[in-house]
């Protein structure tokens, strides 16, 4: 795995260099496009260079996308993103963020699941209703890694950016709970009692979401206290922050709480306390520089891996059609799931539909959805779920990611 990661890291650095010098695209978009082109070129030449093709396949397979993301890079990526979230600005948008991160995910899961189930029946693809809901659960939460990577390069209003960023950072908890509950149901051969399922879902929510945030708060305050005590040693402060992201995330999995939510809360606490401490200028600068660099590096690796892993898909014509229908279903469900909760809030803008449109189009999906899809094994629908997940993710990153900036300018001009 280490050798495969090293090679993918080198490919990411090479692609980033090409993009910086010549393509001039947003980094994540440029890396994915070059990765897809590489996969197509190698696949076309597999009969001419079969050994090289097998070597390439081994690199991607041995890198173990799911483990690499969930057990390695995710803690760094989410912690880095949370460090730069202003808690005062987030507090102003707390109700939209809370509703989008909870109610919107539930509405979207149900809508996507229902639409995909009927679409699959229409084109004769075998997909049970529970498996359709499973897809709805893994694709409905927006990906904080993808969202933060794209929004860095857009000229978007601050309050709207906070809504999108806040939702993407916090909706993992409810998304994991819903995904886990449906996954448990899908693996049960005998229909369980409703009361036991209710208890199980409640337990998952308390453990994953509430437990993750409480653990993250403790981790954040302890981490800041340690960093503050070594103000005269910025390098040690950086080491402490790395220990929080790595060790804290690992411990979260051992005590069965949400590691991503723990990283969000701890990152926000440490970032805001460091940034308002006037006597920590050197520490603040080094921390920000190091974590911004780590964010860029791991983002590059992740998006190259997303592109290279496309060769894992099973291509069939009916899968292709279902992938297109999945893109439509997810977009429609996102619009409805944002519109309904947003209509419950008071707004200062004259045309809230503009904001709903941007929130719909700015809901990007990325590596987390793919990694969740890869956890579905020993399931007759695993291939189709992975395929339609990839379809939505690639559309989200390449089409929505490239056009969100222009949409914002057009809507608010």
Considering its fold, how many domains does the chain have in total? 1
Average pLDDT over residues 116-131: 95
Name the band, by pLDDT with cuts 50, 70 and 90, for residue 188.
Answer: low
Name the band, by pLDDT with cuts 50, 70 and 90, for residue 204.
Answer: confident
The rounded percent of the chain whose pLDDT value lies above 90 is 54
347-364 pLDDT per residue, tens: 766 678 888 999 999 999
Question: pTM to 2 decimals?
Answer: 0.92
Q: What CATH number does residue 154 fall under?
A: 1.20.1530.20
State how far the Cα of 257 lies from the Cα of 357, in Å rounded to an integer.
34
pLDDT at 67: 87
Residue 304 lies in domain: 2-412
pLDDT at 190: 44
Average pLDDT over residues 50-75: 87
216-248 pLDDT per residue, tens: 999 999 999 999 899 889 999 999 999 999 999
The answer on pLDDT for 69 being more than 70 is: yes
pLDDT at 198: 63
The answer on pLDDT for 312 being more than 70 is: yes
Name the band, by pLDDT with cuts 50, 70 and 90, for residue 25.
Answer: confident
pLDDT at 137: 94
267-302 pLDDT per residue, tens: 999 999 887 664 567 888 899 899 999 999 999 999
């Amino acid at each position: 795995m280490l050798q495969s990661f090293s090679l993918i890291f080198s490919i990411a650095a090479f692609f980033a260099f090409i993009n910086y010098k010549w393509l001039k695209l947003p980094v994540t978009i440029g890396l994915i496009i070059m990765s897809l082109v590489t996969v197509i070129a190698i696949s076309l030449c597999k009969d001419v260079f079969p050994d090289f093709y097998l070597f390439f396949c081994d690199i991607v397979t041995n890198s173990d996308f799911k483990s690499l993301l969930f057990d390695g890079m995710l803690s760094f990526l989410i912690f880095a993103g949370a460090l730069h979230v202003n808690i005062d600005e987030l507090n102003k948008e707390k109700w939209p963020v809370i509703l989008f991160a909870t109610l919107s995910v539930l509405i979207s899961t149900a809508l996507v699941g229902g639409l995909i189930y009927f679409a699959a029946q229409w084109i004769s693809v075998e997909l049970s209703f529970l498996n359709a809901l499973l897809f709805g659960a893994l694709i409905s939460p927006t990906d904080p890694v993808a969202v933060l990577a794209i929004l860095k390069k857009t000229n978007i209003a601050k309050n709207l950016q906070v809504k999108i960023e806040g939702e993407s950072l916090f909706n993992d908890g409810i998304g994991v709970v819903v995904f886990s509950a449906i996954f448990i149901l899908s693996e049960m051969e005998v229909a369980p009692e409703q009361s036991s399922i209710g208890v199980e879902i409640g337990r998952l929510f308390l453990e994953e979401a509430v437990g993750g945030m409480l653990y993250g708060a403790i981790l954040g305050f302890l981490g800041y206290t340690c960093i503050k005590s070594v103000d005269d040693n910025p390098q040690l402060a950086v080491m402490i922050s790395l220990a929080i992201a790595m060790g804290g995330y690992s411990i979260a999995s051992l005590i069965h709480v949400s590691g991503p939510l723990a990283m969000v809360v701890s990152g926000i606490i440490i970032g805001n306390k460091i940034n308002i401490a006037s006597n920590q200028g050197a520490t603040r600068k080094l921390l920000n520089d190091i974590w911004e660099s780590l964010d860029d590096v791991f983002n590059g690796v992740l998006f190259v891996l997303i592109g290279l892993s496309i060769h894992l898909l099973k291509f069939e014509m009916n899968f292709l059609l279902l992938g297109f229908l999945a893109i439509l279903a997810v977009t429609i469900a996102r619009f409805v799931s944002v519109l309904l909760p947003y209509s419950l809030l008071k707004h200062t803008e004259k045309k809230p539909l503009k904001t709903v449109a941007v929130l719909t189009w700015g809901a990007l999906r990325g590596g987390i959805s793919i990694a969740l899809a890869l956890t579905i094994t020993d399931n007759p629908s695993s291939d189709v779920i992975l395929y339609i997940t990839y379809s939505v993710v690639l559309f989200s990153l390449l089409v929505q990611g490239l056009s969100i900036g222009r949409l914002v300018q057009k809507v608010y001009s």
